[in-house]
């Protein structure tokens, strides 16, 4: 059979770092071991029933059996605007300031193709969500990494960036609450970001995937809540985490009208929008009863408290995450991130993601997802304790 060479664009795509980890996990599971998988970012709870029922009802509507409007139904864009007003007191024009996305991941890849030419510069968090690099690679642009350090509360320090790189940058990616560090940002940081972006004519892309998941009574800050945010950027939101709709592939971007127009244009050439029934269910999620969201956040906070407490009991000096459903855990001395992750997998049958998979500055940490019930999280901590790595162990 003829084998056809791939394009240069595909050759530039970054290697899927975690594919190797998945294979290791599958091998252990196939041998019959009880593996506690905290290495993924896939929500483990079902979509709230009222959203599922809305989809079932909407699927019977013959209007949705035809092509949807290419840029999405107006009712969903209006729901997005209502959602932003209710949650963040931000006014959004549904006609010009909303783009419906096939999940936020799609938009995060597309925006580089919309705004970057070959050789252009984009600023990226390190560590950060690996798929930011995918769009940059497709655009044949150059990434410049901004270290997210614990001493800076996992926020980039703009003063330490090279001024020439700032001036050359066209895009700046941010993500708070942050994957993988679980760091959070406040209004002052976003205000500073807007000033830096204005001075250097940079478009800011804020990935707000974990926007609903803040702990200790603190609601995560939206980038759009800072004055001037629309002038220089967009915020991308997904229903995957807030409403446990990861498999539904619904997201949206809000903000700068020129960027929204570009996103809609590229999607005109790639898609015929989302199935209308899914859009109606998404409207229900955004506008309906939000009790399930409150319960979800409470569940993650309870899991966080149990997991952190049990890890501290075994002598692992860890900090409680302030947002997301991840914990960013320091690796003990004498191990690299990958070595420690491999040890936990092979000896404790606990899966965590090595921090260097998210960037060079992630070395020295592992990421654990709060995506198992409290008993399983406590069991994971107990298994790690039995390895005798930390001062106090089982």
> pLDDT, tens digit, for every residue of 279-291?
999 999 999 999 9
Partnered with residue 207 across adjacent β-strands are 175, 236
Same fold across 8-47+291-385 and 66-287: no
**Structural domain boundaries of the chain?**
8-47+291-385, 66-287
Task: Report, as an integer, the average pLDDT of 200-228.
Answer: 97
Quickly state the pLDDT bin for 214 (edges 50, 70, 90). very high
At residue 300, does pLDDT exceed 90? yes
At residue 351, does pLDDT exceed 50? yes
**Measured CA angle at 20 (ends 16, 22), to 5 deg:** 100
Q: What is the pTM of this model?
A: 0.95
> What percent of the chain is modeled with pLDDT above 70?
99
Question: Topology of 8-47+291-385 in CATH?
Answer: 3.90.1150
143: tokens are 């990434």
Note the pLDDT of residue 26.
Answer: 85
Domain 66-287 has CATH 3.40.640.10: yes
Note the pLDDT of residue 25.
Answer: 82
65: tokens are 């059996």
Quickly state the pLDDT bin for 320 (edges 50, 70, 90). very high
Note the pLDDT of residue 53.
Answer: 98
Note the pLDDT of residue 31.
Answer: 84
Q: What's the CA gap between 163 and 153, in Å, rounded?
A: 22
pLDDT in tens, 95-149: 999 999 999 999 999 999 999 999 999 999 999 998 999 999 999 999 999 999 9
At residue 19, does pLDDT exceed 80? no
At residue 393, does pLDDT exceed 60? no
Note the pLDDT of residue 253.
Answer: 98
Look at the chain and count its residues.
Answer: 394
Quickly state the pLDDT bin for 394 (edges 50, 70, 90). very low
For 358, counting Cβ atoms within 10 Å of its Cβ (0-12 exposed, 13-18 middle, 19+ buried), the class is: buried
Quickly state the pLDDT bin for 21 (edges 50, 70, 90). confident
CB 41 within 8 A of CB 326: yes
**DSSP state, residue 344:** I
CB 331 within 8 A of CB 365: yes
Task: Report, as an integer, the average pLDDT of 197-221.
Answer: 97
Note the pLDDT of residue 392.
Answer: 54
Lowest mean pLDDT, pick from 67-71, 86-90, 362-366, 368-372: 67-71
């Amino acid at each position: 059979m003829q084998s056809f060479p791939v394009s240069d664009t595909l050759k530039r795509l970054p290697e899927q770092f975690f594919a190797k980890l998945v294979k290791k996990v599958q091998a252990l599971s196939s041998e019959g071991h009880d593996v506690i998988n905290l290495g993924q970012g896939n929500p483990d709870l079902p979509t709230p029933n009222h959203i599922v029922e809305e989809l079932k009802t909407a699927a019977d509507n013959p209007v949705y059996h035809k092509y949807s409007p290419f840029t999405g139904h107006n009712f969903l864009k209006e729901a997005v605007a209502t959602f932003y007003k209710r949650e963040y007191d931000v006014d959004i024009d549904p006609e010009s300031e909303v783009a419906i996305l096939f999940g936020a991941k799609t938009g995060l890849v597309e925006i580089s193709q919309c705004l970057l030419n070959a050789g252009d510069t984009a600023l990226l968090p390190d560590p950060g969500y690996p798929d930011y690099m995918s769009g940059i690679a497709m655009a044949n642009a150059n990434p410049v990494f901004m270290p997210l350090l614990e001493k800076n509360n996992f926020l980039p320090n703009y003063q330490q960036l090279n001024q020439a790189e700032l001036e050359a940058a066209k895009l700046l990616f941010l993500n708070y609450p942050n994957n993988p560090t679980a760091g959070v940002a406040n209004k002052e940081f976003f205000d500073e970001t807007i000033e830096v972006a204005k001075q250097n004519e940079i478009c800011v892309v804020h990935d707000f995937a974990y926007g609903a998941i803040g702990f200790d009574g603190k609601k995560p800050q939206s980038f759009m809540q800072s004055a001037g945010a629309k002038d220089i950027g967009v915020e991308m939101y997904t229903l995957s985490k807030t409403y446990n709709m990861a498999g539904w592939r619904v997201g949206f971007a809000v903000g700068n009208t020129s960027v929204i127009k570009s996103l809609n244009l590229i999607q005109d050439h790639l898609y015929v929008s989302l199935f209308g029934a899914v859009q109606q269910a998404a409207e229900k999620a955004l506008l309906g009863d939000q009790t399930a969201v409150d319960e979800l956040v409470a569940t993650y906070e309870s899991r966080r408290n149990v997991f952190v407490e049990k890890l501290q009991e075994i002598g692992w000096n860890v900090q409680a995450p302030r947002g997301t459903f991840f914990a960013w855990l320091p690796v003990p001395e004498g191990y690299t991130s990958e070595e420690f992750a491999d040890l936990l997998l092979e000896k404790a049958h606990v899966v965590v993601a090595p921090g260097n998979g998210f960037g060079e500055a992630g070395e020295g940490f592992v990421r654990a997802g709060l995506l198992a019930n409290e008993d399983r999280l406590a069991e994971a901590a107990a298994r790690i304790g039995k390895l005798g790595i930390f001062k106090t162990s089982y």
